[in-house]
Amino acid sequence: MTLPQPAARIYPDLDALSCAAADLIVTLAKRALAGRKRFSIALSGGSTPRTLYALLASPPWKESLPWEGTHVFWADERCVPPDDRDSNYRLALETVLSRVPLPLANIHRIPGEEGPDRAARTYEDELRFFFGNAAAGFDLVLLGAGEDGHTASLFPGAPTLASTARLALPVHLDRPLHSRVTLTLPVLNGADHVLVLAAGRAKAPVVQEVIDNGNRKKYPAGLVRPASGNLIWMLDRDAASLLRELAADQRAARE
């Protein structure tokens, strides 16, 4: 079964992209909580979501998002202490989680300091406890995309891409890189909604390969294709600059 190309929404810049993402997250949270008593979101690290996280801790989004019923997880984490400057948990804590009325019990941190293998198992136990023994069904997964096409900590050609049994896996990387823990593709693809945020010209080639050329095998970010969930790539103009659609729009605008 061939899946449709991912939907791409293009914004003038990272600020506009982040505002749109914040609006969408509030909408999805309210929709999830209208149906049940909780909204589960998995966050990513990196630089792109910083602006979005800061917005979620600011008016009007801070007051609009139903924090009481929101449960925060991570798509991946580096195997460092939670106060390490490279920690994805620390990034989220400093930019949003410490600034909003989110119950501490609703923060489901990946204990990266335990080391990749043990932390992956601990996190899986947390996921199974929260979601029940079925595969984790996040309401929303927030992802970025690296210039090499990685997403979360799923890297091109990595054996983690083939895993179907695990919810979270260790990723052993050699120093000076940090080993990591990552959600697996089945979990990412089991989400109701996936937002992939990409900004900057450096991301344009991987965006073109995934969105226009459907070149999925080489780019893990292209393997994120929820079978029944909703996938949206949210791009600034620079990251979308090689897309045929945008080129057509720009030609149309010039005529």
Chain contacts with ligand 6PG (rule: CB under 6 A)? 44-48, 75-76, 88, 144-146, 150-152
**β partners of residue 232:** 7, 195
Of residues 44 and 95, the one with the C-beta less far from ligand 6PG: 44
Of residues 151 and 179, the one with the C-beta less far from ligand 6PG: 151
- Minimum CB separation of residue 99 from ligand 6PG in Å reads 20
Of residues 69 and 196, the one with the C-beta less far from ligand 6PG: 196
Of residues 145 and 204, the one with the C-beta less far from ligand 6PG: 145
- Minimum CB separation of residue 71 from ligand 6PG in Å reads 19
Contact 223, 196 (CB under 8 A): no
**β partners of residue 72:** 41, 107
Q: How far apart are CA 199 and CA 13, in angstroms?
A: 8
- Minimum CB separation of residue 252 from ligand 6PG in Å reads 30
Q: In 104-133, which positions are buried (b, 16+ CB within 10 angstroms) versus exposed (e)? A: eebbbbbbbbeebeebbbbbbebbeeebee
Q: How far apart are CA 171 and CA 156, in angstroms?
A: 12
- Minimum CB separation of residue 102 from ligand 6PG in Å reads 20
